[in-house]
Structure 1
Amino acid sequence: MTIRRTGLPAALLLCAAALAAPAFPAHAAAAPQDTAASSLPTVTPRAETAALHDDEQGGNADADDPAIWRNADAPGRSLVIATAKEGGLRVYDLDARQVQSVPAPPPARPDDAPGRFNNVDLLHGVRLATGRTDLAVVSDRGHDRLRVYRIDRDRPGGPLTDVTDPAAPAIFSAGQEEINEQDTAYGLATWKDAATGRSYALASRNNRTTVALLELTPRPDGTVGYRRVRTLDLPASFRLPNGATWAPCGEPGELPQVEGMVVDPANGMLYAGQEDVGVWRMRADLTGAPTLIDRVREYGVPAAYDEASDACLPTGADPGFGGDRLAADVEGLTLLTEPDGDGYVLASSQGDNSFAAYDREVGDANEYEGGFRVTAASPTLDGSEECDGAAVLNAPLGAQYPGGLLVVQDGRETPVEGDREATGFKFVALTDVLDALDD
């Protein structure tokens, strides 16, 4: 497959995290160390944002998930909009300089959970009472809601304006007590139905297998609300070829959740990454039966949660039912499209710091096409470790990135300031990514 250097804008959520050993997070069974990923082609960043710190001194900001907004009138003045969890949103220019900081909403009451922005995605040309506009849609994990922001590049005070309907309901929770438990809105993908012109968001639920379809509903006052159309529950346990039943390991009461999601607008297919299971394909309207197109290597490996270490430890041998290209967690998924219909479904493989590319064509059973890694450009400009998200835009972005841009979250920013943990975002020329995939 040949991927051109220009094309239609496409948001790409990617991430990779370092493999932990010998203990593993409670949401993942022990993964084997994979040497195949080290032989994949690599790309390096050209710029990075200032570090974010998840502590009182740093404003409780933890970099998570970016989206790239293209300024059609002046592509060199495009923006990166990124979530910082309790730190809200950050907006950067193409030089990776911050141009706006938007706080997350405060707690409803002093003892309630604060706003916590997890994932962000974009919708283009949405008709509001105030006219057509582009929107940034955010999953507010702290309040179990969507937050919606109008994008206006030249607005005094910053390009983002909150246009969320104040009466917008909780997505999954029945009340504030349930919201405080934080089994709330987590992953996010947006989608516009070309046949009807209606705009949707798909939200997954933290610690559960549920995905909800939400229709965005513009209000007469220029705000945006939403209504829940339907939900779908992915499996929490699986029948293995040897007849045994297997469930991914997690803390007591936690089920294998979904975070990374992307919709192919050409055929209305949703791709969803169930973190400890693999990549699912299903209709974006959440009707019909999901298909598991690939599994993580840890699929079927028996493991149990160990309270002392707060980790999942293997309790038996690998039966060999997992896949070959993904190491848990599967986090970010995205679609890299081309005008002629070619393209890739890209999935981040956190367990071995790599990204897997699958053929976009459903008729070809989403065949695996290759992969790549993001590595350090220099001792002071590192790659991406423990990444929670990334985005790519396959369109010219001025003189800085004439062939498009990849933005990747770095979950372990270097150099480290003492014991302070730091995160940030790295900017990579998309031409380098496409060269890697062409190898």
Structure 2
Amino acid sequence: MKFPALALAAVSTFALTACETDDVWIDDGIPALPVAASFETDPMTGVGDRADDPAIWVHAGDASKSVILGTNKDEGLHVYDLTGAETQFLDTGALNNVDVRGNIAVASNDETDSISWFSIDAATGAVAHIGDTPTSKDEPYGICSGLVGTTYYAMPTYKDGKAQVWTLDTGALSTLQPELVTEIQVGQFGQLQLEGCVFDETNGQIFVGEEEHGVWKLDLNDLNAAPVSVDTIATANGLVADVEGMDIWEGENGEGYLVVSAQAANRFVVYDLKAPHAPRGIITITANADGSVDAVSHTDGLDVNSAPLPGFPRGVLIVQDDANPDPEVDQNFKIVDWATVETALGLDAE
């Protein structure tokens, strides 16, 4: 699995014509537009729902040395290079979600009911497990992180609709004594269950998904303020339960896009990052042109990054794939050239 050229990803997208109605369909009056996967990671070999959530760490000096982290909710954390080949496995117990800020990653560990902390070597990209923080709540489910100055935020989410916010000064990573600063009731409806979330530090907001209801927004500058609704599964914008993984493509001056997995419909809804968070369209992820990478279904976690990578100057979208190609067999992560998303949805190239 070599890193493909940008041109190949573009060709594979445009090879899908309007006549191919199996891949282009209408729901709620909005077309779900196809984009092709560009490459994929090695599989988590075995049967069962194993792969869950990816996160990419971008090397500050040499983007080719960047690595992709992927949780295995039976075993631990997998690390892949930018060919998709696995380079490390860390046996930390059952991890559900993972997120990265700077050279620090956090994961929700529902085997030990804790936040698992990882350091990433700035020169080599090697990942090390440095410890766990008990949350005093059962089964941390999702997690996301933020970085404001030297304050690192870790926010695990829970099936009772609550989210905790923990903070740690990045200079005190070796002591690993984060502080629980607040617990927020985010989930309001349905089964309350939360999972996906993402920090938008530039605009001072945090997005959280309530699986059976929709997307909420928290005020990063006032964490105790009431959650604000961004979109729900009842608004006919393409969002359906389960509302799962989410992340943002960051542009300049706080502009960008929020991407949310609508798991049951095998699709992804894209919104403006800035309020009022207008929906910009829906995509599905298809097989690549030569069929060497299969289509994506039933995505759980995802990650988006706007940093230029080799062959991907506009960044990438990384998604979990349930069926590879059979459901819950050898699950892995698919990587999509963000430029193909921009082209499909007519997004402004910033």
Q: TM-score, normalised by structure 2?
A: 0.84
Structure 1 counterpart of 2:60 = 72
In structure 2, do the counterparts of structure 1 residues 200 and 221 end up closer, same or farther at CA, with 3 Å as the change threshold?
A: closer
Q: CA deviation at 1:340?
A: 3.0
Structure 2 counterpart of 1:212 = 164
What amino acid does structure 2 have at the position aligned with 1:71?
Answer: H
Structure 2 counterpart of 1:381 = 293
What amino acid does structure 1 have at the position aligned with 2:164?
Answer: A
Alpha-carbon distance in 2 for matches of 1:371, 1:347: 10
State which of 243, 246, 258 in structure 2 corresponds to 1:345: 258
144-153 vs 92-101, which moves further: 144-153
Q: CA deviation at 1:160?
A: 0.9
Alpha-carbon distance in 1 for matches of 2:96, 2:195: 9
Structure 1 counterpart of 2:135 = 171
What amino acid does structure 2 have at the position aligned with 1:212?
Answer: Q
Q: CA deviation at 1:63?
A: 1.0
Equivalent residues of 2:193, 2:210 under 8 A apart: yes
State which of 123, 139, 152 in structure 2 corresponds to 1:199: 152
State which of 228, 231, 241 in structure 2 corresponds to 1:291: 228
Q: Which of the two has greater strand per residue?
A: 2
Higher relative contact order (CA 8 A, sep 6+): 1
In structure 2, do the counterparts of structure 1 residues 426 and 215 end up closer, same or farther at CA, with 3 Å as the change threshold?
A: same
2:164 paired with 1:228: no
Structure 2 counterpart of 1:123 = 101
Matches within 5 A, 1:134-145: 134-145=103-114
Instruction: Provide structure 2 residue ranges, at least 5 long, that are not aligned to the other structure.
Output: 1-24
What amino acid does structure 1 have at the position aligned with 2:42?
Answer: A
Alpha-carbon distance in 2 for matches of 1:70, 1:332: 20
Q: CA deviation at 1:61?
A: 7.9
SS in structure 1 at match of 2:178: strand
The count of corresponding residues between Structure 1 and Structure 2 is 321
State which of 207, 210, 234 in structure 2 corresponds to 1:274: 210
Alpha-carbon distance in 1 for matches of 2:195, 2:49: 20
Structure 1 counterpart of 2:41 = 49
Matches within 5 A, 1:19-418: 35-36=27-28, 39-55=31-47, 62-104=50-92, 115-124=93-102, 134-152=103-121, 159-164=126-131, 168=133, 170-173=134-137, 183-194=138-149, 197-205=150-158, 207-217=159-169, 222-237=174-189, 248=190, 255-284=191-220, 285-297=222-234, 322-362=235-275, 365-377=276-288, 378-398=290-310, 400-414=311-325, 416=326
Q: CA deviation at 1:150?
A: 1.0
In structure 2, do the counterparts of structure 1 residues 136 and 45 end up closer, same or farther at CA, with 3 Å as the change threshold?
A: same
| Rg larger for | 1
Alpha-carbon distance in 1 for matches of 2:240, 2:297: 14
What amino acid does structure 1 have at the position aligned with 2:53?
Answer: D
Equivalent residues of 1:349, 1:355 under 8 A apart: yes
Equivalent residues of 2:26, 2:32 under 8 A apart: no
What amino acid does structure 2 have at the position aligned with 1:406?
Answer: L
Equivalent residues of 2:153, 2:167 under 8 A apart: yes
Q: CA deviation at 1:152?
A: 1.4
2:334 paired with 1:426: yes
SS in structure 2 at match of 1:163: strand
Matches within 5 A, 1:5-20: none
Runs of 4+ in structure 1 over 4 Å off: 217-221
Q: TM-score, normalised by structure 1?
A: 0.68
Q: CA deviation at 1:86?
A: 2.0
228-237 vs 426-435, which moves further: 228-237
CA RMSD of aligned residues (A): 2.5
Q: CA deviation at 1:331?
A: 0.5
